[in-house]
Amino acid sequence: MEPILQVENLTKQYPDFKLDQVSFSIPRGTIMGLIGENGAGKSTTINAILELIRKDEGIVTFWGQDLSSNPKQIKEDIGVVFDGINFYETLTPAKVGKISAAAYKQWDEAFYHSYLKKFQLSPDKEIKTFSKGMKMKLCIAVALSHKPKLLILDEATSGLDPIMRDDMLDVFLDFVQDENHSILMSSHITTDLEKVADYITFIHEGKVLFCKAKDELRYNYGIIRCGAALFEQIDKSEVLAYRKCDYQWDVLVADKEQARRKHKTAVVDDASIDDILLLYVKGEQV
Ligand SMILES: Nc1ncnc2c1ncn2[C@@H]1O[C@H](COP(=O)(O)OP(=O)(O)OP(=O)(O)O)[C@@H](O)[C@H]1O
């Protein structure tokens, strides 16, 4: 079965930045987390996938089809939420529902109102009275209510408090219970991705550094904490990245159990997604 979204060699050149041959795919029923430092190219990737900006090279297919081959249906099947999307401030959620019902043939008004209730958004209050988090929740309710099969979320949970974020992660997990649904979500809140993502794509300076199953990162990756003498002994072909902090070396490896067997005196910690990101971005690669 073809993936819901396949991205091959996506390239976009800006005067001071190049998104360089980005490739990944999202299998059905899964959540893909997109991570990377500020300016790494996450939003450029999402904008190019959605054809909001023109790509220079590369192939993007949804359900095996190019967006231009069936734009109306494919757009109906994709729910999009960006940090900073704003509705007209004088609209109310009820009016947004009416407008969306006219725009989407799959619009489900009852479903929309059940989300407004779940997210504690009054249908009749003007949007200008909403906080940033409330506006974000409204965007997510709209995106879910036209019954998409793919959700694309660019920093969509960053304005939410930890309790609401946790509820929202449950909504996302529910969404992918249907094997025909998937989510692509970029986030700086890597603990959220640790909770829900099945795969992680790490973009660094416009290039994909890796695209891996989250469990592979969680169960296999580790950080050796050691002094200079032990660092010299480590086989550098096993080192993904390293960083010197005062008198200690932090060394990222892809097989922590092997490192524990080989270096019995060293401390080998589990690596969180934040640790991995930090070592790749701030550390050095062999
Ligand atoms: N329209 C544009 N014209 C020129 N350069 C741009 C344009 N849009 C983005 N860039 C550059 O592309 C690079 C990547 O930006 P992008 O917004 O994709 O990063 P990001 O990973 O989403 O960052 P953040 O986490 O801060 O949102 C940045 O250097 C940015 O300045």
Residue 104 or residue 158, greater confidence: 104
Q: What is the mean pLDDT of the chain?
A: 93
pLDDT at position 84 over 80: no
pLDDT at position 158 over 90: no
Strand-pair partners of 12: 19
pLDDT on residue 133: 87
pLDDT on residue 150: 97
The pLDDT of 61-89, averaged and rounded, is 88
Q: Indicate the domain borders of the chain.
A: 5-217, 221-282
Determine if ligand 1 sits within 6 Å of the CB of residue 43: yes
Q: What is the ipTM of this complex?
A: 0.97
pLDDT class of 68 with cuts at 50, 70, 90: confident
pLDDT on residue 85: 67
The pLDDT of 235-251, averaged and rounded, is 92
Rounded CA gap, 121 and 171, in Å? Answer: 16
110's tokens: 């009852």
Determine if ligand 1 sits within 6 Å of the CB of residue 137: no
pLDDT on residue 58: 97
**In 3D, which of 99, 124, 122, 121 has the Cα closest to residue 109?**
99
Residue with CA at minimum distance from ligand 1 atom 5: 14
pLDDT on residue 5: 96
Distance 277 CA to ligand 1 centre (A): 18
Determine if ligand 1 sits within 6 Å of the CB of residue 17: yes
pLDDT class of 246 with cuts at 50, 70, 90: confident
- What percent of the chain has pLDDT above 70? 99
250's tokens: 């932090």
Rounded CA gap, 212 and 106, in Å? Answer: 33
Distance 35 CA to ligand 1 centre (A): 14
The pLDDT of 35-40, averaged and rounded, is 94
- For the domain covering 5-217, report its CATH number: 3.40.50.300
21 in Cβ contact with 11 (< 8 Å) = yes
pLDDT on residue 132: 86
Span 177-223, pLDDT tens digits: 999 999 999 999 999 999 999 999 999 999 999 999 999 999 999 99
DSSP state of 52: S
Rounded CA gap, 228 and 233, in Å? Answer: 9
Determine if ligand 1 sits within 6 Å of the CB of residue 14: yes
Determine if ligand 1 sits within 6 Å of the CB of residue 84: no
Distance 65 CA to ligand 1 centre (A): 27
pLDDT on residue 1: 73
Span 85-122, pLDDT tens digits: 678 889 999 999 999 999 999 999 999 999 999 999 99
CA distance to 12, 28, 166, 196, per residue, from 184 (Å): 19, 11, 17, 11
